[in-house]
């Protein structure tokens, strides 16, 4: 590859600091066959006039850079096929098109998995698959439930039945943490609008941890008993000579707490700004609305959390008589739901 070729690639938009691999048509055909299951002849006829193809040499050029490394793909769901291939659906939360889902396919290869796209078989994975998906066989799964899913809908979110005292202690710690944030350099005004216990954010944080290496000997119950998340909605203005942060209104700060066991005190785990909508619901109930006993659909229990929607409320009800948590719908006019409208939630 000579300088003239590199100059032509740069003119087409290639990064001059990136490495370049030159492939003749036969090599390009073999590469496509290996990773996509398609050859040059099966691709659109105008493909060789797009991208990094030079008519002067009749060759293809693969340019490698690190521009996408910062985006950190976030797994949404997956599906394992009978032939061993795995289809994963993911998004780039830090990219401009963070709202879009992408799909890739992996197939077993020498004890691990190989990326393959555009396979001519297999359905597109659903948002909530029915089967656990692991891309590395050495990941320990003994602490995970058989129906583990990367992403669950609102009717599948798990909630640990925290006591009123546990919720109050957790909120008190969150209030002190948020007060500390307000002392950050560059903050001119910091007004907290609401501190809400968020079951969806809690479940998401727990499953993010469980998707890594599970703590030896821990069952799913232990994770849920030892983790809780709050969504703090706030307004803030900053001294822009001291910080790059932008003034915000109705911004959301996620505060995650942990403890060593169900009886241990809460400790600060981590916090995150700019929570994506997929992970946070602004309809999370304020803790001031929790802990009261209610009767819905003939079931009496204590409210743990919930979401307000146009047609009413979706609520998490802890039934102390049975030790179970139910996810149910209540209408805004106060009408009780029928028992057959209840959606069973996880039992702890």
Note the pLDDT tens digit of each residue in 57-81. 988 888 765 444 445 666 666 677 7
Is 110 in the same domain as 180?
no
239, 245, 250, 252 alpha-carbon torsion, rounded to 10°: -130
pLDDT at 130 over 50: no
Is 181 in the same domain as 84?
no
The burial class, CB within 10 Å (0-12 / 13-18 / 19+), for 292 is: exposed
Is 261 in the same domain as 299?
no
pLDDT at 28 over 80: yes
Query: pLDDT band at 258, cuts 50/70/90?
Result: very high
Task: Print the domain residue range for 224.
Answer: 158-273
Query: pLDDT band at 177, cuts 50/70/90?
Result: confident
Give the pTM. 0.48
Residue 26 placed within a domain: yes
Is 56 in the same domain as 16?
yes
CA distance 148 to 161: 20
Nearest alpha-carbon partner for 195 in 235, 159, 236, 230: 230
Is 33 in the same domain as 52?
yes
pLDDT at 259 over 90: yes
pLDDT for res 287: 55
pLDDT for res 101: 58
Most confident by average pLDDT, 148-152, 174-178, 321-325 = 174-178
Q: Which of 103, 138, 173 is the last residue of a domain?
A: 138
210-220: per-residue pLDDT in tens? Answer: 766 667 777 77
Is 250 in the same domain as 195?
yes
Query: pLDDT band at 267, cuts 50/70/90?
Result: very high
Is the distance from CB of 125 to CB of 87 less than 8 angstroms?
yes
Query: pLDDT band at 82, cuts 50/70/90?
Result: confident
- Across the chain, mean pLDDT equals 68
**Region 225-252 average pLDDT:** 79
Query: pLDDT band at 134, cuts 50/70/90?
Result: very low
**Region 50-54 average pLDDT:** 69
Is 124 in the same domain as 191?
no
CA distance 117 to 128: 21
Higher pLDDT, 14 or 322: 14
Residue 239 placed within a domain: yes
Is 246 in the same domain as 176?
yes
pLDDT for res 128: 45
Q: Which of 138, 167, 192 is the last residue of a domain?
A: 138
Residue 113 placed within a domain: yes
Residue 248 placed within a domain: yes
Is 90 in the same domain as 17?
no
Higher pLDDT, 172 or 80: 172
Residue 279 placed within a domain: no
Is 7 in the same domain as 24?
yes
Residue 144 placed within a domain: no
Residue 238 placed within a domain: yes
Is the distance from CB of 204 to CB of 93 less than 8 angstroms?
no
Is 164 in the same domain as 266?
yes
pLDDT at 6 over 70: yes
292-301: per-residue pLDDT in tens? Answer: 677 766 677 7
Is 17 in the same domain as 81?
no
Query: pLDDT band at 119, cuts 50/70/90?
Result: very low
189-225: per-residue pLDDT in tens? Answer: 888 877 878 777 887 788 777 766 667 777 777 888 8
Higher pLDDT, 30 or 341: 30
pLDDT at 10 over 80: yes
Q: Which of 64, 95, 112 is the last residue of a domain?
A: 64
Least confident of 97-101, 259-263, 269-273: 97-101
Percent of the chain with pLDDT over 70: 54
Residue 212 placed within a domain: yes
Domain total of the chain: 4
Annotate 45-91 with DSSP letters as a single string. TTGGGSSSEETTTTEEEEEE--TTGGG--EEEEEEE-TTS-EEEEEE
pLDDT at 8 over 80: yes
Nearest alpha-carbon partner for 230 in 270, 195, 258, 265: 195
**Region 218-239 average pLDDT:** 82
């Amino acid at each position: 590859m000579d300088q003239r070729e590199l100059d032509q690639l740069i003119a087409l938009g290639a990064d001059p600091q990136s490495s370049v691999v030159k492939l003749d048509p036969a090599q390009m055909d073999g590469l496509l066959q290996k990773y996509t299951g398609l050859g040059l002849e099966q691709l659109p006829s105008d493909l060789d006039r797009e991208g990094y193809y030079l008519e002067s040499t009749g060759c293809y050029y693969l340019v490698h850079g690190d521009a996408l490394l910062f985006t950190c793909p976030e797994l949404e769901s997956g599906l394992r096929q009978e032939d061993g291939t795995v289809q994963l659906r993911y998004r780039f939360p830090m990219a401009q098109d963070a709202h879009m889902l992408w799909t890739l396919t992996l197939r077993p290869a020498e004890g691990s998995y190989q990326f393959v796209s555009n396979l001519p078989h297999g359905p597109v994975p659903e948002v909530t698959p029915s089967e656990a998906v692991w891309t590395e066989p050495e990941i320990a799964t003994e602490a995970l439930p058989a129906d583990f899913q990367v992403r669950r809908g609102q009717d599948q979110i798990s909630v640990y039945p925290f006591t009123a005292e546990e919720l109050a202690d957790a909120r008190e710690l969150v209030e002190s943490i948020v007060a500390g944030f307000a002392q950050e350099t560059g903050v001119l005004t910091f007004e907290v609008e609401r501190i809400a216990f968020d079951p969806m954010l809690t479940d998401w944080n727990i499953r993010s941890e469980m998707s890594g290496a599970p703590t030896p000997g821990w069952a799913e119950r232990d994770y849920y008993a030892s983790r809780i998340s709050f969504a703090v909605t706030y307004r803030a203005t900053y001294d822009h000579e001291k910080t790059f942060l932008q003034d915000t209104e109705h911004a959301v700060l996620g505060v995650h707490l942990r403890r060593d066991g169900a009886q241990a005190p809460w400790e600060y785990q981590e916090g995150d700004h700019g929570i994506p909508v997929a992970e946070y619901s602004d309809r999370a109930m304020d803790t001031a609305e929790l802990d009261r006993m209610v009767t819905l659909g003939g079931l009496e229990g204590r409210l743990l959390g919930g979401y307000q929607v146009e047609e009413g409320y979706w609520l998490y009800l802890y039934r102390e008589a049975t030790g179970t948590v139910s996810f149910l719908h209540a209408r805004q006019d106060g009408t009780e739901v029928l028992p057959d409208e209840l959606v069973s939630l996880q039992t702890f």
